[in-house]
Amino acid sequence: MASSRILHPDMEDTGSGLDYGTRPETLLGDITPNHRFFIRSHAPTPEIDPGTWELRVEGDGVRRATSYSYTDIRGAFPVVSVTRTIECAGNRRVLFGKEVGQDFEGTQWGRGAISTAEWTGVRLRDLLEPAGLTDAAVEVMPEALDAIRARRPLPLAKALADDTIVAFAMNGEELPPDHGFPARLVVTGWLGAASIKWLGRIEVSEHALHVPWNTEDYVLITENRDGAAASTSVITEPALSTLVELAWPAHLQPGPHVIRGRAFAGEARITMVETRIDDGPWVAADITSPGAPGVWARWQIRWNADPGDHVLRVRATDDRGRRQPESTPPNVLGYMHESVLAHPITVDDGS
Ligand SMILES: Nc1nc2c(c(=O)[nH]1)N[C@H]1C(S)=C(S)[C@@H](COP(=O)(O)O)O[C@H]1N2
Ligand SMILES: [Mo]
């Protein structure tokens, strides 16, 4: 639906025709404005009439199939607003490929598949409750109205969490078509693929559900040396990561600078961010907004830049004691890149 696309022209174009990244150097506040929030869509944005739209809750895990109109979603349940970061599991795939000397298929993301919004909507559990969960219900699967019927199950506990919401607004505006109008799921601290857009149906199941997005896509597949699949695991949380709010590569004038960035730890909390310039020591950055589980933290450093070519490395630590590693073991689909990045910065000679 190109007519309603609100995308800023400076977005990172991945070349897929559907997917656009947020340029880190354009970030200003905690929130990513709607027109710069990254877009990851596997099929074109469906045109949905809110007047006839309905959201069905059904499956063997509920006692009564139930259906809600757009008016019900907007007006019949307590409304909550939560600020949450969404990151695609494939973020940094191009940089991952360079690290391991491999071309990964899939959306060619640089650093742009991560953004943060204040989402407003209703709790998923408030929509499930009137349908009457059975004692044996184990999974809840949101399903989309797009051409691929995008869907991915959540364990019951995550579906019932306080901050798992069906959002109808984003940063104080009606949800834009590309981000899931009329309603999308927002799942805190999990990979973007859990946050299904253009909701049409929610299946509650008494058994585990197997769909493309937890069997073929959004799974970590590792291979033996002979190319045979060695293991497959379903991705839930995204990688521990940081980004620098500069272009890649960056060009700066010599002299004092404040370099800013973000760090994200999925369901965990960032506790420390360290930076290192060239072969210098690791130095703790100032954490200027502490983030929270599901929300990126912000950090900054002062740097007096000398002319020449430099490399800025940044690594985050979270409250589970994880720290970003120097390298990431490859997986077939190039997900979950978590290595410390060597950000190239050229400082002009000032003449
Ligand atoms: N219906 C539907 N929901 C979807 C997708 C999709 O293609 N179709 N993409 C998922 C993926 S992989 C990501 S990373 C997020 C991206 O959300 P955004 O486009 O609002 O940034 O949406 C998720 N929800
Ligand atoms: Mo994604």
Q: Name the closest-CA residue to atom 11, ligand 1.
A: 193
How many Å apart are CA 113 and CA 342, to the nearest integer?
Answer: 18
Say if residues 299 and 285 touch (Cβ distance below 8 Å): yes
What pLDDT sits at residue 5? 73
pLDDT score at 4: 65
Pairing of strands 255-264, 297-305: antiparallel
Strand-pair partners of 86: 115
Phi, psi at residue 183, to the nearest 5°? -155, 145
Would you state the pLDDT for residue 1? 41
CA distance 184 to 191: 14
Ligand 2 ion: nearby residues, β-carbon < 5 Å: 40, 88, 192-193
- For every residue of 246-292, DSSP letters joined together read S-SSEEE-SEEEEEEEEEE-TTS-EEEEEEEETTS--EEPEEEE--B
The angle formed by the CA atoms of residues 313, 317 and 319, to the nearest 5 degrees, is 170
Contact in structure between 334 and 97 (CB atoms under 8 Å):
yes
- Name the residue with the closest Cα to ligand 1, atom 12: 193
Residue 251 near residue 269, CB atoms below 8 Å: no
89 lines ligand 1 (CB under 6 A): no
Q: Indicate which residue's Cα is closest to atom 21 of ligand 1.
A: 39
Residue 94: which H helix or E strand, with range?
helix 93-100
Nearest one of 66, 203, 62 to 135, comparing CA atoms: 62
Q: List the chain residues with pLDDT less than 50.
A: 1-3
> What is the position in ligand 1's atom list of the atom closest to the CA of 43?
7
Looking at residue 227, its pLDDT comes to 76
- Residue 115 CA: nearest ligand 1 atom is 21
C-alpha 131/C-alpha 285 separation (Å) is: 49
Q: Give the residue whose CA is nearest to atom 10 of ligand 1.
A: 193
Structure tokens, 188:
């805190």
Residue closest via CA to ligand 1's atom 9 equals 41
Distance separating alpha carbons of residues 188 and 194, to the nearest angstrom: 9
Q: How far is the CA of 96 from the centre of ligand 2 (A)?
A: 16
Would the CB of 42 count as within 6 Å of ligand 1? yes
CA–centroid distance, residue 309 to ligand 2 (Å): 34
Distance 316 CA to ligand 1 centre (A): 26
Q: How far is the CA of 156 from the centre of ligand 2 (A)?
A: 21
Domains observed in the chain: 12-209 (3.90.420.10), 241-347 (2.60.40.650)
CA gap 113, 338 in Å, rounded: 14
Rounded to whole angstroms, how far apart are CA atoms 242 and 324?
9
Q: What are phi and psi of 208, to 5 degrees?
A: -65, 140
Q: Could you write out the three-class secondary structure of 106-146? A: CCCCCCCCEEEEEEEEEEHHHHHHHHCECCCCCEEEEEECC
Q: Is 40 in the pocket of ligand 1 (CB under 6 A)?
A: yes
Q: From the CB of 41, is ligand 1 less than 6 Å away?
A: yes
